[in-house]
Amino acid sequence: MKLPVASDKQVRQEVLKLAKVHKGLLTLTTLTQLGAALAAVAMPWLVGKLIDQVKAGTTSEVVMRYLWLFAAMAITMIVLSYIAEYSSRIMSERVFMGLRNQLVTSLLSMPLGLVESAGTGDLLGRVSHDVDKISFFLRRGLSEVLAIVAVVLATYTVAFTTSWKLAPVLLLNLVFMYFLGRWYFPRAVPAYRTESSVFATQNGHISENVEQIDTIEALGMVPLRRAQLRTLIENNLNNERYTAWLRVGLLGGIMLLLLSPLLLVIAWGGFLYSYGVVTIGEISTIFLYVFTLKGPISEFTFWIDVVESAKVSFARIFGVGLVPPAEYDHDLAPAGREWELDRVSFAYGNGPEVLHQVSLNLAPGERLAIVGTSGAGKSTLARLLAGIDEPSGGQVLVGGAPIAALAEDARRAQVALVTQEHHIFSDTLAANLRLVKPEATDEELWEALDVVGAKWARELVTTHEGLETKLGSGELTLNAARAQQVALARLVLMDPHTLILDEATSMLDPTSAREIEQGLERVLAGRTVIMIAHRLFTAQDADRICVMENGQIAELGSHDELVAQGGHYAKLWQAWANE
């Protein structure tokens, strides 16, 4: 499932909200840009007046007066332009900060299952590619666009004030721009929307290749993945080529828009002058105005492309906020610690059911191991127990309360899930651990690391900076086993009454995995532990073992009971023991 994209109407509504929030700075920027534009267009007007004065014969004092006025207008334009640019940059940074916070808040408030189904490419595209486009527009383009609009409005206003007989020539620009826009915009918006979508898919594919390079090479999938990437790049290239041709057409139209009014002013102005309708000064003023518009309109060619691209990115960013946040019952509280799965079924999206009528009860403090072949439904069952997904049918209850309906903080106090996937944030070791318990002391952090057997952490005291050692890219990089130990240490700090280990020790060697699991058993005594067993020796110590096949519970009992039954588990155990 892809995340939604906001409609044009919704984008306009969100932009208006932003304008209201920052109306003070927006008003200051607009007024100063308009003032700077008026000062700029006053200079050609002064030149025209001076030409008429000189032709009619005037004194040097009058000429100097015009020159001083010209200098004053130039200084005014520079000062107001600086104020406008400064206020625009401040406003842009505040708007950008708000958008980033809004995006992160929306993503974090989404149901985790929806975030996962959206795909890495779509998320990466929105938080990187689209955010970069909006950042460029806000930091560079907003002030420029306001300046262009202000200059054009001021130029047309003063031009008609100067000579209403000659200024209508400028209206031809507007007519031509209207038809140029009618050609460009209906093609540009869908093109940029497709471009962003294709880029997101390509970005996700590259990210997967980098993250899973070992698996891709081991399975001999390099040629296939290379061919898929080449196809995505070619699609992206075709989209880029199409938008480039659109820009070429726009640029050609703008160039025609720039040259034709100059010739018309000379021709029409000369005709009117021959009949004494206009003066040389008026013709010079209008000519300078047309020439002055050359710069803003040329820049407009570039910025209109940026605006359209940013508009598409705004739609994708605002679209994240259209996803309704996960709804929880904040008044709901479990009445105990027992678990009940009542005829639970589950299907991913519109796909087939992967769990079928699973019923199971767990007493507080019980240790349950779930075993089965790949695709049997073990990890799906773990996600339901953790409250990440809601069952399609039946109920998953803890203390009589549906686990998926509990508020996040309440659910975290009940159950925690650690999978074979892990992530180390680019921060200190202490900060990585305090993610789950910000108030934890250094002693508690060391205790959690000791519990999971992270002896290497103690060595950091002498080799690096102990708990304050920087981790991540460019700093100390942890291998998979150590990263998983950090993830398990977080679990110890969370201290939930139910612990779910979804193959959480699969990245460790058997000796280390056994040591960590024994340590967790000592610390989490009296708590319910559910283990998705990757190695059968982890199931041996459980109170009960649940054997899953094809989304159903095939066998349930203790290790000795299942071995004695001679069923599927007994065969698995015998095969493992003989290795």
What CATH number does the domain containing 208 carry? 1.20.1560.10
* Contact criterion met (CB below 8 Å) for 146 and 88: yes
Does some domain include residue 556? yes
Query: pLDDT digits over 471-493, tens only?
Result: 887 788 888 778 878 888 888 88
pLDDT digits (tens, 9 = 90+) for 248-265: 888 788 777 767 777 778
- Pair (103, 35) in one structural domain: yes
**Does residue 327 lie in a domain region?**
no
Structural domain containing residue 85 = 8-320
Q: What is the pLDDT of residues 106-149, one digit of tens each?
A: 887 777 777 777 766 777 778 877 888 888 888 777 878 888 88
**Structurally, how many domains does the chain consist of?**
2
b/e for 330-358, b at 16 or more Cβ within 10 A? eeeebeebbbebeebebbeeeeeebbbeb
**Rounded mean pLDDT for each run of 10 residues along the chain, 579 residues in total:** 81 89 89 85 80 76 85 91 88 86 81 71 78 82 81 80 79 77 80 77 78 76 86 85 84 76 80 83 79 76 80 87 73 83 87 88 89 83 86 89 80 78 85 90 91 86 88 82 83 85 64 62 74 77 88 90 88 76
Q: Are 399 and 338 in contact (CB under 8 A)?
A: yes
Residues in the chain: 579
DSSP 57: -
Looking at the fold, whether 266 and 378 belong to one and the same domain comes out as: no
Looking at the domain assignment, is residue 45 inside a domain? yes
Residue 397 lies in a domain: yes
Same domain, 128 and 269: yes
436 plus 310 within the same structural domain: no
* Same-domain check for residues 396 and 296: no
Say yes or no: 316 and 438 in one domain.
no
The confidence score (pLDDT) of residue 432 equals 92
Claim to verify: residue 144 and residue 249 sit in the same structural domain: yes
The last residue of a domain, from among 292, 320, 348: 320
The neighbour count for residue 147, using CB atoms within 10 Å, is 24
Query: What is the model's pTM?
Result: 0.64
The closest of 546, 444, 557, 558 to 490, measured between CA atoms, is: 444
Say if residue 412 is in the same domain as residue 286. Answer: no
Burial state string for 423-460 with b = 16 or more CB within 10 A and e = fewer than 16: ebeeebbbebbbebbeebeeebbbebbbbbbbeebeeb
Q: Find, among 62, 66, 65, 72, the residue nearest to 39 by Cα.
A: 72
* CA angle 366–367–371, rounded 5-degree value: 140
Query: 339 by DSSP, 3-state: which?
Result: strand
Are 86 and 220 in the same domain? yes
Domain co-membership, 223 together with 347: no
Q: What is the pLDDT of residues 364-399, one digit of tens each?
A: 888 898 988 778 888 888 888 888 888 889 998 988
Both 167 and 50 in one domain: the answer is yes
CA 252 to each of CA 173, 183, 256, 388: distance values in angstroms, whole numbers, following the listed order: 14, 13, 6, 54
Q: Assess whether 376 and 306 both reside in one domain.
A: no
CB 307 within 8 A of CB 250: no
Place of tokens 């906020």: 321
Within a domain: residue 383? yes
Domain end (from 291, 320, 349): 320
CATH number at residue 562: 3.40.50.300
CB 357 within 8 A of CB 344: yes
Residue at which a domain ends, from 289, 320, 351: 320
